[in-house]
């Protein structure tokens, strides 16, 4: 699971597309082809970075995920990504998808997990980007802040 909570309040610059940069449809909301493209991307990332060992049964975009960027249920082989990722750079979407793919192979976030995920060269840059987005959303005056945070002064 990749949470939308900042770890160190880091910021990042945009990174040019890498060798595995691929399609992420952003203007085909809720269409079956969109999830098919996401499944194809997952297969490409698994092949390139995990030796093809991560084989999800389902990979899909979801609208309901607000506190996380992605989630995985290893026992069911399912991966869900927040639709909020669609407007982010490809290396960030790839990182979150690869993070969840890695959970199909290694539960938790122990050393084996980070070793496998470390094959992706943009881990730190993607994490910094997500941290910056999360920090900006939590900042006073942000339109992303929840009504509860506003009501409690949080």
- Digit-coded pLDDT (tens) for 94-130: 999 999 999 999 999 999 999 999 999 999 999 999 9
Residue ranges per structural domain of the chain? 30-152
**pLDDT in the model for residue 32:** 57
Q: Which tokens go with 58?
A: 């389902």
Below-50 pLDDT ranges, the chain: 4-31, 145-154
Q: Which CATH superfamily is domain 30-152 in?
A: Metalloproteases ("zincins"), catalytic domain (3.30.2010.10)
**pLDDT in the model for residue 121:** 97
**Coil vs helix vs strand at 61:** strand
The answer to whether 81 and 8 are in contact (CB under 8 A) is no
**pLDDT in the model for residue 11:** 28
**pLDDT in the model for residue 123:** 97
């Amino acid at each position: 699971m990749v949470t939308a909570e900042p770890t160190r309040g880091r910021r990042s610059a945009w990174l040019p597309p890498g060798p595995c940069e691929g399609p992420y449809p952003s203007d085909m909301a809720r269409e079956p082809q969109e999830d098919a493209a996401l499944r194809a991307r997952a297969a490409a990332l698994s092949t390139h970075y995990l030796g093809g060992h991560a084989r999800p049964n389902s990979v899909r975009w979801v609208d309901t995920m607000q506190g996380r960027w992605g989630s995985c249920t290893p026992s069911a082989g399912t991966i869900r990504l927040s639709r909020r990722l669609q407007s982010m750079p490809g290396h960030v979407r790839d990182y979150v998808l690869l993070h969840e793919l890695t959970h199909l192979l290694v539960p938790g976030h122990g050393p084996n997990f980070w070793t496998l995920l470390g094959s992706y060269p943009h881990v730190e840059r993607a994490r910094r980007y997500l941290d910056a987005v999360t920090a900006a959303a939590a900042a006073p005056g942000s339109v992303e802040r929840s009504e509860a945070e506003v009501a409690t002064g949080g």
